[in-house]
Structure 1
Amino acid sequence: MKIFHVYILECSDGTFYTGITSDLTKRLQSHKAGKYRDSYTYSRRPVKLVFSCDFTEAAQAIATEKQIKKWSKAKKAALISGNFDQLPNLAKKKFKTNK
């Protein structure tokens, strides 16, 4: 059975990079080595793996990666920290009121 990993890297500039792979060790090494000059992480090295989760279905892994990529930095930080109870509140949009 093939396993797919959705992962989050913390970059040296404090941003997060979310990706998907079937070989997490190899992918992490390529990020750290700067294998691809045009990649988001190339100029933001060093990078550190801060989160990963495993899937047996590629479609579910891809959907999860796309979902996480849309999240705010605060919501990603809550996921990384394991503060799952905060995730619903961080999903709510904040609207400015005219007072």
Structure 2
Amino acid sequence: MKASSWFVYIIQNEKGHYYTGITTDLERRLKEHTSSKKGAKFFRTGAPVDMVFTKKFANRSLASKFEAAVKKLSRAEKINLVTTRKVKL
């Protein structure tokens, strides 16, 4: 079994809101979000525009923990993360 990297990503929708998720394949996941068949319900109110942040992790556990921490951030803190790539968790 091949060990794969996990990624935490943030996608901005057309209304400027942020969606955070994890995946092993960033390109595939973005396509799924834009196709609406396997995309998150979040994007029903505003189509995804761009993947504005990604961070690579060695395993799912680390990625999931970081994703949970990002989801707890305020909007201002998420904007800071996206623009500076730095976050205090």
- The TM-score normalised by the length of structure 1 is 0.78
3-state DSSP of counterpart to 1:41: helix
Extract unaligned runs of 5+ from structure 2.
none
What is residue 71 of structure 2 aligned with on the other side?
69
What is residue 44 of structure 1 aligned with on the other side?
46
**Which of 9, 19, 22 in structure 1 is aligned with 2:21?**
19
Counterparts of 1:21 and 1:42, CA distance in 2: 20
What is residue 80 of structure 2 aligned with on the other side?
78
1:35-91 per-residue CA deviation (whole Å, 9 max, x = no partner) reads 24761123310331000000012111000000000101110110111163xx45xx8
Show structure 1 runs of 4+ deviating over 6 A. none
Structure whose alpha-carbon radius of gyration is higher: 1
Which has more strand, going by share of residues? 2
Counterparts of 2:26 and 2:85, CA distance in 1: 24
The 1:58/1:33 distance shift into structure 2, 3 A limit, reads: same
If asked which structure has higher relative contact order (CA below 8 Å, sep 6+), I would say 2
What is residue 4 of structure 2 aligned with on the other side?
2
Extract unaligned runs of 5+ from structure 1.
92-99
The 1:83/1:63 distance shift into structure 2, 3 A limit, reads: closer
